[in-house]
Amino acid sequence: MSKRSSLERTFQFYCRALKLPDPVTGLRFAKEAMGRKWEFDFAWPEHKVAVECEGGTWSGGRHTRGAGYAGDCEKYNAASLLGWTLIRTTTDMLNSNPQAVIGQVKQALGV
């Protein structure tokens, strides 16, 4: 995976601080099934659980503009069809209640 965003670094910090098992970063999940090179920000492949950090939600970032949003929808739908549980988080969600975000991941992982 390329350089980590501030949001991704913050998520990784809370993973460690709140005792979440170490995730895989930059996991390509659909390369064989769909001929795509989609990656998850964080994943626990043995559980088919992934986290996507959605930055720029209030600043007009890629995830909130037309083509970026449509591309994300395509990626997330493909992940669902392949059996993945996807947790999405924003900077606001993580900063205001990191225990809730990590709690959702723990619930999905069954830990």
pTM more than 0.85: no
What is the per-residue pLDDT across 59-101, written as a single tens digit (0 to 9) for each?
565 555 567 778 888 899 999 999 999 999 999 999 999 999 9
What is the per-residue pLDDT across 16-48, written as a single tens digit (0 to 9) for each?
999 999 999 999 887 665 667 889 999 999 999
CA distances from 70 to 10, 48, 73 (A): 26, 23, 5
Domains annotated on the chain, with CATH: 6-105 (3.40.960.10)
